[in-house]
């Protein structure tokens, strides 16, 4: 019998001993990092919390309850049942059955109303239908990304059931070694911003953290993580863990599947749809530019392998590594990753991109970890002079700057990454137009931003507490304000360009492609207009050149002709909206982690800034700190 089979048998024995016959257990199965208990008597198990916590404590694994397949009503019957009992005010908009795990997701506009109905509580619903119910908030803004994900999950049910079992067999295989050696290999995003990726190796496992691309890179050696240098066989990787959806952290992920990776990808719940949105768009742009190196099928392959996790839950990802994701305050679903290695003798926190400060959109980064010895922290704003003004000052400057342009009948173009800054800026604009501080004028939102916004509304529990309350309890969303007009098709752009004054928000944030370029060419050559950058501009991007004062730039038109644009409009940069911590926030974060750190490694920043930052951390806090380059192997312990 295989090792995995033996372990499953042992587990079965332990669980069988704990659960009496009336528990009706029919199967015990790995479901990725969890153990799924299939029962014919859901009332006994779902209603018996002490018994379940006792099992969790003795098997030291996460346990989920599933109904035995013989109890499951057909999808059609269940769909009919839900339709019959759901109150019409709840705004039922979709029902998705996942046979791989026996779950039904019910999409509604007002989940609170459905949750008040006793028929929709977990137990009653399971008894009646044999399905585990999951009630999901859905936005009135349509989202094709969520549809893509549902379709992919649906068409791969059988395959995923097998995959999840394999993931479990691999995670819970018995350990071969008892050493606690840990090595970090830097593959990308060290002494640079872009292509973030690193490998954590122990005697037992290999875990990849992030897998990005470099947006401004000149050649393939600086565009992608250096797997070639690390000599990794992708099949030997135990897991890939994603901190957040931005392409400089996720853009290379589908390529792993194209080149043979077949293991799990762990990310927070909102990261899956956000990443899908950005990666699908990246494929589209790359294929137009003829530099495509993976395809939509690879993105779908990635979706199939994703194991979304909620924040703060402990998850086994290999025989000697457990992870916890915690809010990092950077974008929706962005996480800092805590790795608990071996018997807990060494703990690493990878901050990911983080904001240790207030924003309208998210709560600040969390830092209550039980233990951390090594911190890998980003230093985008790691230089002493990178100090941001307070949010009140930033908002006031922003409002004044826009008002000036509006008064002279000009247009304000705000290049924004679709995910994160766009939603923060939407909240600020709608708040100040409501209060009368910002002169009312049309705000045009390019399609992809609205798609990302819909995903924000779908995960209200991940948003800033007041915003969350507004969406969940009051069913109001400032994202759906009347001030916003969504531009769904390029043909609408000429109309937008004839509107004076107006505000236009468009992607990409660094002028590296996307609809913003279409506007940029027609807006920047008139002096009454203005461009306001609100996010970090990576070296080598057009955004950075414009910000640094370039007066003429060449653009390629839709018809392939080169157009030279003279920049006559005002160009401004407002830093305080950034989703990254400024210098003071980084220093506070480092100093407040308890117990005192044994080592700090800084990444994700320009070389000089990171070297300074590590030097200062070393000097002020007396913690050994370094700023390694890409292609270094560092002995952590
Ligand atoms: Zn980011």
**Helix, strand, coil % over all residues of the chain, rounded to 5:** 40, 20, 40
pLDDT on residue 1: 47
Partnered with residue 13 across adjacent β-strands are none
Please write down the HEC assignment for all residues of 193-213. Answer: CCCCEEEEEECCCEEEECCCC
Q: Which residues contact 180 (CB under 8 A, 6 or more apart)?
A: 202, 203, 320, 341, 342, 343, 345, 346, 637
Give 10-residue mean pLDDT values along the chain (637 residues): 57 81 90 94 86 87 93 97 94 94 94 93 96 92 91 96 95 84 97 97 96 85 92 94 97 96 98 97 84 91 97 95 97 98 92 96 95 96 93 95 96 94 95 96 92 95 95 85 92 94 94 90 94 90 93 80 90 91 97 93 97 97 97 96
CA–centroid distance, 604 to ligand 1, in Å, is 10
CA–centroid distance, 400 to ligand 1, in Å, is 28
CA–centroid distance, 138 to ligand 1, in Å, is 25
Token readout for 404 is: 């000036």
Asked whether residue 166 is assigned to any structural domain, the reply reads no
CA–centroid distance, 384 to ligand 1, in Å, is 21
| 37 lies in the same domain as 127 | no
Asked whether residue 156 is assigned to any structural domain, the reply reads no
CA–centroid distance, 330 to ligand 1, in Å, is 7
| 8 lies in the same domain as 129 | no
b/e per residue 75-101 (b: at least 16 CB within 10 A): eeebbebbeeebeeebbbeebbbbbbb
CATH of residue 96's domain is 3.30.300.20
d(CA 405, CA 426): 18
Whether 474 and 480 have beta carbons less than 8 Å apart is answered as no
- How crowded is residue 474: how many other Cβ atoms within 10 Å of its Cβ? 9
Whether 286 and 333 have beta carbons less than 8 Å apart is answered as no
| 236 lies in the same domain as 99 | no
> Which among 425, 417, 412, 435 is positioned nearest to 514, based on CA atoms?
417
Whether 601 and 397 have beta carbons less than 8 Å apart is answered as no
pLDDT on residue 48: 76
Residue after which a domain boundary falls, among 132, 150, 168:
150
Asked whether residue 173 is assigned to any structural domain, the reply reads no
CA–centroid distance, 334 to ligand 1, in Å, is 8
Asked whether residue 361 is assigned to any structural domain, the reply reads yes
d(CA 501, CA 505): 14
CA–centroid distance, 385 to ligand 1, in Å, is 21
| 123 lies in the same domain as 81 | yes
- Residue 572 CB-half CA count within 13 A: 19
| 40 lies in the same domain as 78 | no
Give backbone dihedrals phi and psi of 286, rounded to 5 degrees, phi first.
-65, -40
d(CA 373, CA 352): 16
CA–centroid distance, 344 to ligand 1, in Å, is 29
Residue after which a domain boundary falls, among 70, 90, 107:
70
| 348 lies in the same domain as 403 | no
CA–centroid distance, 462 to ligand 1, in Å, is 16
d(CA 130, CA 123): 10
Q: Give the chain's largest Cα–Cα span.
A: 79
- How crowded is residue 3: how many other Cβ atoms within 10 Å of its Cβ? 11
Q: Into how many domains does the chain fold?
A: 4
Q: For strand 315-318 and strand 321-327, is the pairing parallel, antiparallel, or unpaired?
A: antiparallel
| 244 lies in the same domain as 308 | yes
Token readout for 214 is: 């470099």
Report which secondary-structure segment, H or E, holds 585.
Answer: helix 583-592
CA–centroid distance, 327 to ligand 1, in Å, is 13
Partnered with residue 28 across adjacent β-strands are 37
Q: Which residues contact 39 (CB under 8 A, 6 or more apart)?
A: 23, 24, 25, 26, 45, 65, 66, 67, 68
Asked whether residue 175 is assigned to any structural domain, the reply reads no
d(CA 36, CA 147): 26
CATH of residue 205's domain is 3.60.15.10
Q: Which residues contact 80 (CB under 8 A, 6 or more apart)?
A: none
| 239 lies in the same domain as 297 | yes
pLDDT on residue 558: 66
Domain around 23: 3-70
CA–centroid distance, 244 to ligand 1, in Å, is 7
Alpha carbon 429 to chain centroid, angstroms = 24
CA–centroid distance, 469 to ligand 1, in Å, is 25
d(CA 251, CA 215): 9
Residues in the chain: 637
d(CA 617, CA 614): 5
C-alpha R_g of the chain: 25
463: helix, coil or strand? coil
Token readout for 87 is: 């109150």
Residue after which a domain boundary falls, among 150, 167, 201:
150
| 134 lies in the same domain as 231 | no
| 609 lies in the same domain as 562 | no
- How crowded is residue 174: how many other Cβ atoms within 10 Å of its Cβ? 9
| 84 lies in the same domain as 101 | yes
Whether 396 and 438 have beta carbons less than 8 Å apart is answered as no
CA–centroid distance, 339 to ligand 1, in Å, is 20
Asked whether residue 174 is assigned to any structural domain, the reply reads no
| 358 lies in the same domain as 485 | no
- How crowded is residue 632: how many other Cβ atoms within 10 Å of its Cβ? 16
Strand order in the sheet with 103-108: 92-98, 103-108, 132-137
Q: What is the DSSP string of 517-560?
A: HHHHHHHTTSTT-EEEE-S---TTSHHHHHHTT--EEEEE-TTS
Whether 185 and 632 have beta carbons less than 8 Å apart is answered as yes
Partnered with residue 96 across adjacent β-strands are 105
- Residue 304 CB-half CA count within 13 A: 23
CA–centroid distance, 335 to ligand 1, in Å, is 10
- Which stretches of 203-344 are assigned E, i.e. beta strand? 206-209, 239-241, 265-268, 306-309, 315-318, 321-327, 335-341
CATH of residue 41's domain is 3.30.300.230
Asked whether residue 193 is assigned to any structural domain, the reply reads yes
CA–centroid distance, 543 to ligand 1, in Å, is 16
Dihedral class, residue 426 (left if φ above 0, else alpha if ψ from -120 to 50, else beta):
alpha
Q: What is the DSSP string of 119-164?
A: GGSHHHHHHHHS-EEEEEE--SS--HHHHHHHHHHHHTHHHHHHHH
d(CA 299, CA 257): 8
CATH of residue 568's domain is 3.40.50.10890
Q: For strand 335-341 and strand 321-327, is the pairing parallel, antiparallel, or unpaired?
A: antiparallel
Asked whether residue 329 is assigned to any structural domain, the reply reads yes
CA–centroid distance, 328 to ligand 1, in Å, is 10
- Which residue do the tokens 């480092």 mark? 590
- Which residue do the tokens 């908030």 mark? 137
Residues with CB under 5 A from ligand 1 (ion): 246, 353
């Amino acid at each position: 019998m295989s090792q995995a089979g033996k372990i499953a048998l042992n587990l079965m024995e332990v669980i069988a001993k704990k659960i009496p016959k009336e528990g009706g257990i029919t199967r015990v199965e790995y479901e990725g990092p969890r153990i799924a208990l299939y029962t014919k008597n859901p009332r006994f198990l779902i209603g018996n919390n002490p018994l379940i916590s006792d099992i969790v404590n003795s098997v030291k694994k996460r346990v989920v309850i599933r109904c035995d397949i013989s109890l499951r009503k057909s999808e059609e019957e269940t769909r009919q049942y839900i339709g019959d009992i759901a109150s019409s005010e709840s705004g039922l908009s979709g029902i998705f059955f996942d046979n791989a795990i026996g779950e039904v997701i019910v999409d509604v506009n007002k989940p609170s109303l459905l949750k008040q109905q006793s028929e929709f509580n977990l137990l009653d619903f399971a008894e009646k239908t044999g399905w585990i119910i999951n009630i999901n908030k859905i936005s009135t803004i349509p989202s094709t990304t969520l549809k893509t994900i549902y379709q992919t999950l649906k068409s791969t049910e059988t395959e995923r059931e097998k995959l999840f079992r394999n993931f479990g067999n691999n995670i819970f295989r018995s350990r071969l070694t008892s050493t606690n050696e840990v090595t970090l290999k830097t593959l990308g995003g060290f002494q640079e911003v872009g292509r973030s990726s690193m490998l954590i190796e122990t005697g037992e496992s290999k875990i990849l953290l992030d897998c990005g691309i470099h947006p401004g890179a000149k050649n393939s050696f600086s565009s992608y993580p250096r797997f070639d240098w690390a000599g990794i066989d992708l099949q030997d990787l135990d897991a890939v863990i994603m901190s957040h959806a931005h392409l400089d952290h996720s853009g290379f992920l589908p390529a792993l599947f194209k080149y043979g990776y077949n293991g799990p990808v762990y990310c927070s719940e909102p990261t899956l749809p956000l990443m899908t949105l950005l990666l699908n768009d990246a494929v589209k742009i790359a294929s137009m530019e003829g530099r495509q190196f993976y395809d939509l099928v690879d993105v779908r392959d990635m979706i199939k392998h994703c194991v979304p996790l909620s924040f703060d839950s402990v998850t086994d990802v290999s025989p000697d590594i457990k992870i916890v994701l915690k809010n990092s305050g950077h974008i929706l679903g962005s996480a800092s990753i805590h790795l608990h290695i071996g018997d807990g003798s060494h703990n690493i926190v990878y901050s990911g991109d983080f904001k240790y400060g207030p924003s309208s959109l998210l709560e600040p980064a969390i830092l209550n970890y039980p233990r951390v010895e090594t911190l890998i922290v980003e230093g985008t704003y790691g230089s002493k002079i990178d100090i941001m003004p307070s949010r009140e000052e930033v908002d006031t400057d922003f409002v004044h700057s826009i008002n000036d342009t509006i008064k002279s009948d000009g247009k304000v173009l705000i290049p924004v990454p679709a995910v994160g800054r766009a939603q923060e800026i939407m909240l600020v604009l709608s708040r100040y137009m409501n209060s009368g501080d910002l002169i009312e004028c049309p705000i045009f939102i390019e399609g992809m931003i609205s798609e990302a916004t819909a995903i924000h509304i779908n995960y209200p529990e991940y948003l800033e507490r007041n915003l969350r309350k507004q969406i969940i309890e009051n069913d109001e969303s400032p994202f759906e304000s009347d001030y916003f007009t969504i531009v769904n098709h390029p043909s609408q752009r000429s109309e937008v360009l004839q509107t004076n004054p107006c505000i236009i928000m468009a992607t990409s944030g660094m002028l590296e492609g996307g609809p913003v370029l279409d506007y940029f060419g027609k807006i920047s050559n008139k002096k009454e207009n203005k461009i306001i950058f609100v996010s970090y501009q990576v070296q080598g991007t057009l955004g950075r050149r414009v910000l640094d004062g370039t007066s003429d730039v060449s653009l390629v038109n839709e018809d392939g002709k080169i157009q030279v644009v003279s920049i006559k409009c005002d160009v401004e940069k407002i830093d305080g909206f950034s989703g990254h911590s400024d210098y003071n926030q980084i220093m506070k974060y480092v100093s407040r982690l308890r117990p005192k750190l044994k080592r700090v490694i800084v990444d994700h920043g320009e070389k000089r800034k990171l070297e300074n930052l590590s030097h200062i951390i070393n000097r002020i806090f007396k913690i050994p700190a370094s700023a390694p380059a890409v292609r270094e192997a560092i002995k952590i312990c």
